[in-house]
Structure 1
């Protein structure tokens, strides 16, 4: 077993270097040190498993990046569902830019980040309790499995090897709840997409600026419009989306998959100049 924490990874193999053995590289990510080390030690006892451990989301990302640079990519990530939670007596996760609303890398955010950065890595979420909503969020983020922390080692190994065959693993008791959550989320997203599709191209551009956090004056400067015109567009966006605030419009836009406007120079991006009477 080796440990990757705060920039000091020790990536090595300690078991079975036989060329005929197909080895699985696993990274355990949990901020409960005793649990992480115990699980890593148990997995390391398997002849075909190489395992490392990281104590936070940022440490895990550094470990993944370093392993990829060395040509020793991990195959499976085991992520604590409650990673970054404020547990008494535990050191909090390190704040980073791409975390949740509190600036922390929680388990599901880490899953999404890994899917984007290293899509070949399979992720499995380890949870202390069954939660259909969070399990559905994990699957939507790119996880291949959701298992209980207190499951048997043989069950966990079955899941690890299964996700490498592109299988998805969920506890049977969660299936109905997860399917219900996914169906509701799909319906909600479809309705959000329909509302966004009703916007004009200019209104969609204004919405993307709103998603990027730009205020009315910044949007006006970016799109070469008057503040009055931008105000009119914003009012039209809120009306067509059926919401009453910028925050609600941004939330709906994100559900519909609308990304933020790029915050680089805007010159040359607008084909038609609009007057304040538009």
Structure 2
């Protein structure tokens, strides 16, 4: 995953921010314990959301620990762990492996190849433990690779592949909540994929790389369409979320789903405005000369 599903700190109460940080540090500690320093390097904000969300839904009891780490070597950090922490650490490794593999196949980045080699044995072990999730991951990534080779402009199909992966990951158990979790994850995954394509579009165009938004970006109302598509994805995701009996940490979860997911979008818009402003200033200076 790509770091889009995170808190909007200015609107989060301090007690909730500390609690969010404790979940984040707890997941980092679990990755260290199970997978070492390499595991810690794969930690994402997206998976922290998944951890808090699944903990809220299934109401598994938290265990509080305190540890020092390389980032905070002096003061012990509070960490919250529960039965979902191990699952999310495992999913973080699986998703990171596939993300690195995709980067290697697309861009031939050496660090991505090294990453896949380092995670290969862990991925194989986890594939046996989580056969259902791994089977869906493999199937959808194969379909996504085929669409990318075809230079498909069908954003619904390409994003749908990642959406089904995310949905299967959220469906931690085959229970009464599974289908709602799959639908919620489907739209959340599509949002992540589309946001990633939206953010990378200009760089991909300069490098001549595939991006499913290239054709759509040629439309005059491209920005308006993108805003509508992204809002639709998060609207559907949030509608499914509200069907679930989540009470624990609800303010953190709603902060993320209704505000935090737009952090990067706002940042992209601000950069675009700044670029346009500089371009206008440059043109005005040339005219005055």
| TM-score, scaled to structure 2 | 0.24
* Larger RCO (CA within 8 A; separation ≥ 6): 2
| TM-score, scaled to structure 1 | 0.24
- Between Structure 1 and Structure 2, the one with more strand by share is 1
